[in-house]
Amino acid sequence: MKTSVFFGALTVAGMAAGMASAATLDDVKARGQLNCGVSTGLVGFAAPDSNGVWEGFDVAVCRAVAAAVFGDPTAVEFVPLTTKTRFTALSAGEVDMLARNTTWTFSRDVDLKLEFVGVNYYDGQGFMVPRDLGVSSAKELDGATVCIQTGTTTELNLADFFRTNNISYEPVPIETNAEAQQQYLAGACDVYTTDASALAATRASFETPADHILLPEIVSKEPLGPLVRHGDNEWGDIVRWTLNALVTAEELGVTSANVEELAAAATDNPEVNRLLGTEGELGAMLGLEADWAKNVIAAGGNYGELFETNIGESTPIGLARGLNAQWTEGGLIYSPPFR
């Protein structure tokens, strides 16, 4: 009952905000900056560095959208949001978009009236435990205490997994990844469960990462991606095609190192030309400048460059491309054509 009332309230708020935000691009331009909702702090995806500058894989999506609109990837106000506050903030217009480790689900799309514009990371829910707990499978966790972020798909998946395997657990509710890390390291819970990528990022920040293991079970599909409000179609097109530009650039071999040269004049590849604005009117169709995608790629690189810089195998987080490889390399990352 409590959940239904919450969803219903958000539905009304979403509808109202959707109608009021039909010209989000105009609002963003008038403000002079993008308001982008991000995590409260998850190294590799969204976290401030030692100078207070936000960086990470999700942060890069925000900066890419700012580059598309303004030609300036720094024209962003990052708004840290918890799992509880993220949807109400978007529906109420406090942010223009979310890029915040958020799973695309039926209820969020249909009932909450939100619009997922694509997937920037294919993930799944995993489990992290201290090595000295002595377990090698999540099925051995009968009676364990589990740190779980409330209001998430992982909370629901956790209940399904333990019920299906006829084992019990005691939830330890937390609201942020920082709180989960603190509680887990303090021994308040035996297990921390969330998206496997977030577990890897969290473990990388520990003083002794090798003392903690990720169990082999991945118990859900978690397609994570940026989202906007329902009814905000023109703005949604800009966020969607910014993400697609990053993906297409990698597929076509357009990088932060060669994008200026390739955009200087039409090449012999028509799709590169359409992407970079030396041929066709795709920018004008979005209400943007012809070189919008060039600015997106120049901001931090194509999808593959952003992956490797922020969360790839050479970083402390050390994630392999896996499902997040290009479709031409056996993965699921795929953009519709720029035509």
Q: Distance (Å, rounded) from C-alpha 302 to C-alpha 257?
A: 10
Q: According to the model, what pLDDT value does residue 8 have?
A: 43
User: Which of the 8 DSSP states describes residue 276?
Assistant: H
Q: Please, what is the average pLDDT of the chain? A: 92
Tokens representing 152 are 């998430």
Residue 159: partners with Cβ closer than 8 Å, 6 or more residues away: none
pLDDT of residue 88: 97
Task: Give the pLDDT confidence score for residue 152 in this predicted structure.
Answer: 87
pLDDT of residue 21: 45
Angle between helices 292-300 and 303-310 (to 10 degrees): 20
Under the banding of pLDDT at 50, 70 and 90, the label for residue 237 is very high
Is residue 30 very low, low, confident or very high in pLDDT (cuts 50, 70, 90)? very high
50 CB contacts (<8 Å, ≥6 apart)? none
Q: How far is CA 116 from the centre of its chain?
A: 11
Count CA within 13 A, CB hemisphere, residue 313: 5
Alpha-helix runs per DSSP H in 126-281 = 153-164, 177-185, 196-204, 233-252, 259-263, 270-276
Using the Cα atoms of residue 120, residue 123, residue 129 and residue 131 in order, give the sign of their dihedral.
Answer: negative
9 against 191, higher pLDDT: 191
**243 pLDDT band (50/70/90 cuts)?**
very high
Rg over alpha carbons for the chain, rounded to the nearest Å, is 20
Proportion of the chain above pLDDT 90, given as a percent? 90
